[in-house]
Amino acid sequence: MKHDLKNLSLEETEQLVSSIGMKPYRARQVAQWVFRHHAVSIDEMTSLAKEARTRLGEVACISTLTLEKIAISRDGSRKFLFKTADGYGIESVLMPEKTHWTLCISTQIGCALGCKFCYTGTLGLKRNLSVAEILNQVSAVLKAGEFQEKLPNLVFMGMGEPLLNYENTLKSLKILLSPWGFNFSHRKITVSTAGITPAIKELAHDLPVNLALSLNASNDKTRTFLMPVNKKYPLKDLLKEARSFPIPARKRITFEYILIKDVNDAAEHAEELARLLNKIPCKINLIPFNEYPTAPFKRPEEKQVLLFQAILHQHNYTAPIRMSKGSDIVAACGQLGASITAGR
């Protein structure tokens, strides 16, 4: 079986090219063709001699995802539906901001966590994405857009729990950040988690990236109801890791709080949340629930969302209301997977 160059670190690429008689320094050229120039075939690597390309092609290949569809929202968001080699669907969303784009990518097909507000969780976990499948989402979108001057921000907030696919998530992050890879700044990448506390600790040790914690409740009872993962990793453990997580200069931890009517949107919940996050340098993104077909919850009234925000402001928290983009194309937070078939 040929080696997929999209799955390889620079060291692994060096070993591969050395094994076929090429100089190790050629590995950097190969990696840059794959990750910076988004080559889809080894024949495109014109800085390598034809004979070297032939030898490399005998042992290696460059994978891609099949782009099935791009859906465009009224707000300018674009949802990319990709098909894997074994027939599963992956969704990624490119969202316009005031000064940049943000690309939301997936790390799993489906999700095992079963959060009650998220459609992806209703699919169950089909499998983890490989390093190549994670990175191919980025390559495809970068190749389709005009990002030469300014790379988009990346958020690992799509389908799946990134920290339950830790090895592949970490390796893809290292390639995204490496100068021989995609050359993203660590300030442009955010990893979101539902609260896999041992992996948060590992990530803090392994790599400097921005962290977003999907909180969604101000007490264990409500959070366990919404997010079964809280039984294993309760709030006290999650917040302990949040307090010790190394934050890049001038950055804060982000807490994502999905506001659900009559579940976690009351004034007393806002007061409880303010006490819970005391002395953690953070911002709280308030996200009114995005309804989807068969959703068991409702979106709160706007006045209730504003009241919740006002209480947090009174306690000196930064708490922007994030109106999720792409809801008209089923691309908003918690909706991914709703427009695709979950099986092969």
Q: Which residues are known to be catalytic?
A: 91, 333
Among candidates 342, 336, 299, which has minimal Cα distance to 321? 299
How many Cα atoms occupy the beta-carbon half-sphere of 284 within 13 Å? 28
The CA distances from residue 133 to 88, 90, 199, 304, in Å, are 11, 9, 21, 40
Among candidates 276, 259, 261, which has minimal Cα distance to 220? 276
How many Cα atoms occupy the beta-carbon half-sphere of 306 within 13 Å? 3
106 contacts: CB under 8 Å, gap ≥ 6: 90, 91, 92, 129, 134, 137, 158, 159, 160, 336
